[in-house]
Amino acid sequence: MANYDFDLFTIGAGSGGVRASRLAAGLGARVAIAEERYLGGTCVNVGCIPKKLLVYASEFADDFEDAGGFGWAVGERRIDWRELIARKDREIERLNGLYRRLLEAAGARIVEGHAVVVDAHTVAIEGRRYTARTLLIATGGWPWKPGIPGVENAITSNEAFHLETLPRRVLIVGGGYIAVEFAGIFKGLGAEVIQAYRGPLFLRGFDDDLRAALAAEMRVRGIDLRFDTTIVAIERGDGSLRVRLGDGQATEVDQVMLATGRIPNTGGIGLEEAGVELDRVGAIRVDPLSRSSVPSIYAIGDCTNRMNLTPVAIAEARAFVETAFRQNPTPMDYRDVPTAVFSQPSLGTVGLTEAEARERFTAIDVYRSTFRPLKHTLSGRDEKTLMKLVVDRATDRVLGCHMIGPDAGEIIQGFAVALRCNATKAQFDATVGIHPTAAEEFVTMREKD
């Protein structure tokens, strides 16, 4: 048997890489993990966590406005952007330290620097080589910028978390969850916001009713949504940016943020040279057990471009450790993974969309409810909550559960358990709701569309 320096060498200390390394080390494996940027990866540093903190900050604009309906007199409102970013940075720094302590407590060795895969069992970092029985690639994803003139004048979500000042006018390019979330963040903090997307409606892949409802609500909030719109060029002017659009028009803004997708962060680390197969976008090709074309090299998380969500990467890490270190081959189960978009209002979903269900099942029933949240009967805000259930008519099993409205992610998380357990509509109906809540609507819907 070969004598290796480690049993596992992980490249990438994001959510998936850290979880796999900790679990393997906890089983007694000799583990090293390499990171060239920051512990915690995208989620902790330039993703889920700081984004949610900025969403919280931006939501106070609505809270201040709604307070008058409940008898509160609110005085001057002003956002101190520098203070917000400083406080955010302190929290991220705390989490970076926490990740380091968790890895060290588990017995994993942290190696800082740019790692390159030399062969099936060897990694090179800063001129030094390390060997391991198993390599795990968990390098995540990176923002993609389209090749348009002046693209260097735009930022991505990475830089948006570190702007020195809050821009007064922002153009956000893209139609994914990052784009709609930052549109809400910047608008809530006081900026004028344009969101441009090349397609007819954003959030492709989500239920169509939720997509349309969110677009309507964002427009009510004053966000200028421009669908079927492309960006031709970004030109730097005197203190502003001039953006030329595909229809021949132009607009002037202070900041352009590109949220035009993310690609696997697999370049420059020696994968293809080591025999690891990549697809056309650079994602690592893996089998159901997360093993690459090189048997000793596995990959998890966004660098595989399967389902790019932090909790999924963590679940893939658990499955990998079961497979590679507990002799229990465990494929990842991607069925009924819940997700949320922290737009304003927020969106939560689990299971099949109505369109997906119609393609896969002979007959379905759809239950839909739109109502004004109780809070807004006094606040006066003209905002609606939408809830929707998609049901297989033959078995009565609930196939999809979708919501747009306050706390959508918190509510859908609970119903995700029900869908994982193959709950039926009759079981939903037999469940007593908590009153008065929005969530009770999911167990009181009786009328089919």
CA separation for the pair 137, 300 (Å, rounded):
7
Token representation of residue 116: 């390159």
Whether residue 44 sits in one domain with residue 19: yes
Mean pLDDT of 313-331: 98
Q: What is the CATH number of the domain that holds 378?
A: 3.30.390.30
114 is an active site residue = no
CA separation for the pair 195, 229 (Å, rounded):
9
User: What's the order of all strands across the beta sheet hosting 224-226?
Assistant: 224-226, 192-196, 169-173, 255-258
CA separation for the pair 107, 22 (Å, rounded):
8
Q: Is the residue at 332 inside a domain?
A: no
Whether residue 360 sits in one domain with residue 247: no
What pLDDT shows up at residue 2? 72
Token representation of residue 8: 């596992």
What pLDDT shows up at residue 375? 93
Q: Is the residue at 333 inside a domain?
A: no
Q: Is the residue at 1 inside a domain?
A: no
Query: Between 310-325 and 15-26, two packed helices, what is the crossing angle to 10 degrees?
Result: 30
Instruction: Check whether 407 has a pLDDT greater than 60.
Output: yes
Which stretches of 241-397 are DSSP H helices? 310-325, 354-360, 376-379
Whether residue 130 sits in one domain with residue 49: yes
Catalytic residue among 121, 162, 376, 435: 435
Q: Is the residue at 126 inside a domain?
A: yes
Q: What is the pLDDT of residues 86-139, one digit of tens each?
A: 999 999 999 999 999 999 999 999 999 999 999 999 999 999 999 999 999 999
Token representation of residue 421: 């357990």
Q: What is the pLDDT of residues 299-319, one digit of tens each?
A: 999 999 999 999 999 999 999
- Nearest 5°: CA angle at 125, between 123 and 131? 30
Whether residue 363 sits in one domain with residue 315: no
Whether residue 180 sits in one domain with residue 235: yes
Instruction: Check whether 1 has a pLDDT greater than 60.
Output: no
Its domain, for residue 432, covers: 339-443
What pLDDT shows up at residue 144? 96
Q: What is the pLDDT of residues 27-85, one digit of tens each?
A: 999 999 999 999 999 999 999 999 999 999 999 999 999 999 999 999 999 999 999 99
* N- to C-terminal Cα separation, the chain: 65
Give per-residue burial for 149-186: e unless 16+ CB within 10 Å, then b. ebeebbbbbeebbeeeebbebbbbbbbbbbbbbbbbbb
Q: Is the residue at 421 inside a domain?
A: yes
Q: Residue 34 pairs with which residues in a beta bridge?
A: 11, 111
Q: What is the pTM of this model?
A: 0.96
As for how many domains the chain has, the answer is: 3
Pick the last residue of a domain from 260, 278, 295.
260
User: What's the order of all strands across the beta sheet hosting 385-392?
Assistant: 339-341, 347-351, 398-404, 385-392, 364-371
Token representation of residue 359: 């393609």
Whether residue 286 sits in one domain with residue 227: no
Neighbouring C-alpha atoms within 13 Å toward the C-beta of 338: 20
Whether residue 161 sits in one domain with residue 51: no
Whether residue 379 sits in one domain with residue 244: no
Q: Is the residue at 37 inside a domain?
A: yes
Q: What is the CATH number of the domain that holds 111?
A: 3.50.50.60
CA separation for the pair 204, 210 (Å, rounded):
11
Pick the last residue of a domain from 260, 294, 309.
260
